[in-house]
Amino acid sequence: MKTTAFDFEKITEKYGNDKTRLMDMLIDIQQELGYVPQEALPVLARKTDTSQAWVEQTLSFYHFFRRQPSGKYTVFLNKSVVSWMMGRERVARTFEEEAGCRFGEVSPDGLIGLFDTSCIGMSDQEPAALINGKVFTRLTPFRVREIVRNMRSGKPVTELSTSGYGGGRNALEVIRSEVRNNIQRKGPLLQDNYQYGEVLRQKLKTLSPEDVIREIQLSELRGRGGAGFPTGLKWEFCRKAKGERKFIFCNADEGEPGTFKDRVLLTEYPELVFEGMTLAAYAVGAREGILYIRYEYKYLEEHLHTVLRKLREENLLGKDIAGMQGFDFDIRIQYGAGAYVCGEESALLESAEGKRGEPRFKPPFPVEKGYLGFPTIINNVETLCDAVKIIHFGSEWYRSLGTEASKGTKVLSISGDCRYPGIYELEWGYTVNDILDMSGAEEVQAVQVGGPSGTLIGPEEFDRILCYNDLATGGSFIIFNQRRDLLRNVVLNFMEFFIEESCGSCVPCRNMPWLLKQKLEKILNGHGVWKDLEDLESWPGIMRINRCGLGQTAANPVISSLRNFRALYEERIQKGRSFDEGFELEKAVEESCKAVGRVPLI
């Protein structure tokens, strides 16, 4: 490899040799070389005045950082539940046959590397893969053969696919992606009844920061990222917090499997997202904003930079915004590198500071002590868009939408077994049945509401209502029809997801999903007994004491499937047997017996 010639110092200098920009440095190296070579570590450590162990701590945390050359074309094929449902198995097999290597390996000629990855935010068009950062969706064995053929003839990654560009802005020169928006239902947020910049240019002339906060509070807007914290209150805390600097973060990590609405918002409405950040900055008195976005959405990078440039030119970012003296605010983009936990707000801050994405303990909360120790707002993409529309149309208008306790609308990401997967903007208050009807779902066995960390419900509960005091959700809604094997294909897949995504800090979160998965496998392999069901019921209790939401919810797939689909477990366990070691001794020693030419003495 010619990496010795690579100038790592140029990259550290680009970021002022600042240790807190380590993520950007590593991402740049990864982009340039396709992996981060060992030689980079001493240089990065020396230039940023830290140790190699520290650099490696960050480097080894994130899934997309490769330590070895990973192919001229590096394929990351999604292995989320919907990908499997839509035919991942045959797609994966075709990749292996055509490339001549297995997943987890690089082809002998070094041309193609095949790797798995967690949900990439394309559940409405699976199976999907990232190849050198570009997204390929709706893959079939035929298309895979075509793609690999094109790789072999040396085509650039932009020319591997023959499919046309997705609709809307996906076709822009700066995106040129086959990703489709699949906007199936527009509500007040997605309707094109608003010209970006109007709030900044007109409304803020008559509203003080306190007025803005009051209006948001009156609207009863709650965070759309999942936790549902009142947005106005968060802004008020941050306004009151003392700090020389303040920061506005937009959380675009969107890692919950089955969610993809932020992808669409960032594709079609980035002006609204950035205006929401600017509005928050006005309200709390911040000058610096950061969009933290998952690596999977790297294909939107040029698009987002183009929009930021445009907004600066139009004086909607930068100095004296919209002619308001002293209102300065600008936004930079921070990429992640593959870690679901970095969607948790304090892990996100750690990551943005160049560290491993380990959630912080709270208190202190980010509004008091956030990015680099300064008061910080972190809001979901959708929340920020809502805020702009609330200031534009008024809190009263917003409160007229939704239910008594849950105001406004929610953008849902609907996928799985339905005719029209995509995003649906709905007022709070629809039932699960309504949504199944809307999306053309039939013979439904179960729905996963809120992604793996949410709940799996069956038909008896389809009259439940989507709102904060019944079925609250960050937006993931995955439908399973009657042919799906819920335990083997859904619950097991979700447990594997949590095992891979735990940061590993807390003892229960690091181990319990693993222990539960072993139990589940034992039952699926026909070795289960009653005691195993009892264990599955009692063991997860300890997950409550984990530090962050990931660990606190990581046993939910087991808990909710056991509660709502108990029969599926019971029909698989052995009746009339109280103990089973979980394996067949004869089978387990078969190989060694053969090797030494003995008959097992059992």
Partner 1 sequence: MGKEKEYVTITIDDQEIQARPGEFIVDVARRHGIYIPVLCNLKGVKPAGSCRICTVLVNGRPMTSCTTPVADGMEITTRSPELEDFRRSVIEILFVEGNHFCPACEKSGNCELQALAYRFEIMVPRYPYQFPHREIDASWPLLLKDHNRCVLCKRCIRTIFDKEGHPIFAFRNRGHELEITIDPEYGKNMTDEMARQAAENCPVGALLYRKKHGFEIPIGKRKYDKEPIGSDVEKRKKEKVS
**CB 543, min distance to ligand SF4, A:** 8
User: Is residue 253 near ligand FMN by the rule CB under 6 A?
Assistant: yes
Applying CB under 6 A, the span of 94-102, 160-168, 307-315, 341-349 interacting with ligand FMN comes to 341-349
**165-170 CB contacts, 8 Å cutoff, 24+ apart:** 168/267, 168/268, 169/267, 169/268, 169/303, 170/267
579's contact among ligand SF4, partner 1, ligand FMN, none, with CB below 5 to 8 A by partner kind, is: none
451 binds ligand FMN (CB under 6 A): no
String of contacts with ligand SF4 for each residue 540-579, x by CB under 6 A: ------xxx-xx----------------------------
Interaction of residue 344 with ligand FMN, rule CB under 6 A: yes
Amino acid at 140: T
Q: Is 76 helix (H, G, I), strand (E, B) or coil?
A: strand
Looking at residue 120, the DSSP 8-state letter turns out to be -
Q: How far is the CB of 279 from ligand FMN (least distance, A)?
A: 13
Contacts of 39 (CB under 8 A, 6+ apart): 3, 4, 8
Minimum CB distance to ligand SF4, residue 497 (Å): 12
Q: Residue 107 or 556: which CB sits closer to ligand FMN?
A: 556
Of residues 113 and 225, the one with the C-beta less far from ligand FMN: 225
Residue (of 189, 191, 333, 337) closest to 250 by Cα position: 333
The DSSP element (H or E) to which 456 belongs, if any, is: strand 455-457
* One-letter amino acid of 397: W
> Whose Cβ is closer to ligand SF4: residue 24's or residue 350's?
350
Single residue of 341, 441, 446, 490 touching ligand SF4 by CB under 6 A: 341
- Determine if 255 is a binding residue for ligand FMN (CB under 6 A): yes
Q: Which is nearer to partner 1, 42 or 323 (CB)?
A: 42
Nearest one of 263, 289, 259 to 276, comparing CA atoms = 289
In the region spanning residues 503 to 542, those forming contacts with ligand SF4, defined by CB under 6 A, are: 503-506, 509-510
Where are the extended beta strands (E) located within 271-372?
288-293, 330-335
Nearest approach, Cβ of 185 to ligand FMN (angstroms)?
Answer: 21
Q: Which does 54 bind (CB under 5 to 8 A by kind): partner 1, ligand FMN, ligand SF4, none?
A: partner 1
Site string for ligand FMN, 190-229 (x = CB under 6 A): ---------------------------------xxxxx-x
Nearer to ligand SF4 by Cβ, of 115 and 498: the residue is 498
**Please, which residue, 452 or 508, has the CB nearer to partner 1?**
508
**In whole angstroms, how close is the CB of 358 to ligand FMN at the nearest point?**
12
DSSP state of 4: G
Question: Which residues contact partner 1 by CB under 8 A?
Answer: 42, 45, 49-54, 56-57, 60-61, 339, 356, 361, 363, 499-508, 510-512, 514-515, 518, 535, 539, 541-542, 544-547
Helical pair 301-313 and 270-284, crossing angle rounded to 10 deg: 60
Query: In the bound complex, what is the minimum distance in angstroms from residue 454's beta carbon to ligand FMN?
Result: 12
Residue 438 is encoded by which pair of tokens?
């809307």
Alpha helix stretches (DSSP H) within 15-75 = 22-33, 40-47, 52-59
Round to whole Å and give the CA distance between 602 and 592. 14
CB 97 within 8 A of CB 110: no
548 binds ligand FMN (CB under 6 A): yes
Beta bridge partners, 249, equal: 290, 378
Q: Closest CB to ligand FMN among 258 and 343? A: 343
CA distance 132 to 109: 17
Alpha carbon distance 35, 19 (integer Å): 20
Least gap, CB of 223 to ligand FMN (angstroms): 2
Helix locations, 414-464, DSSP H: 432-438
Dihedral angle computed from the Cα positions of residues 314, 320, 324 and 329, in that order, rounded to the nearest 10 degrees: 90
β-bridge partners, 555: none
- What span, in angstroms and rounded, lies between the C-alpha atoms of 317 and 35? 35
Give how many residues touch ligand FMN by CB under 6 A: 23
Q: Which stretch binds ligand FMN (CB under 6 A): 150-158, 254-262, 421-429, 489-497?
A: 254-262
Q: Is 528 in the site for ligand FMN (CB under 6 A)?
A: no
Q: Using CA of residue 274, residue 449, residue 191, residue 305, what is the dihedral sign?
A: positive
With left for phi above 0 and alpha for psi between -120 and 50, is residue 567 left, alpha or beta? alpha
Residue 343 interacts with ligand SF4 (CB under 6 A): yes or no: no
Provide the binding-site residues for ligand SF4, judged by CB under 6 A: 341, 359, 502-506, 509-510, 546-548, 550-551
Provide the binding-site residues for ligand FMN, judged by CB under 6 A: 223-227, 229, 251, 253-256, 340-341, 343-345, 378-380, 383, 548-550
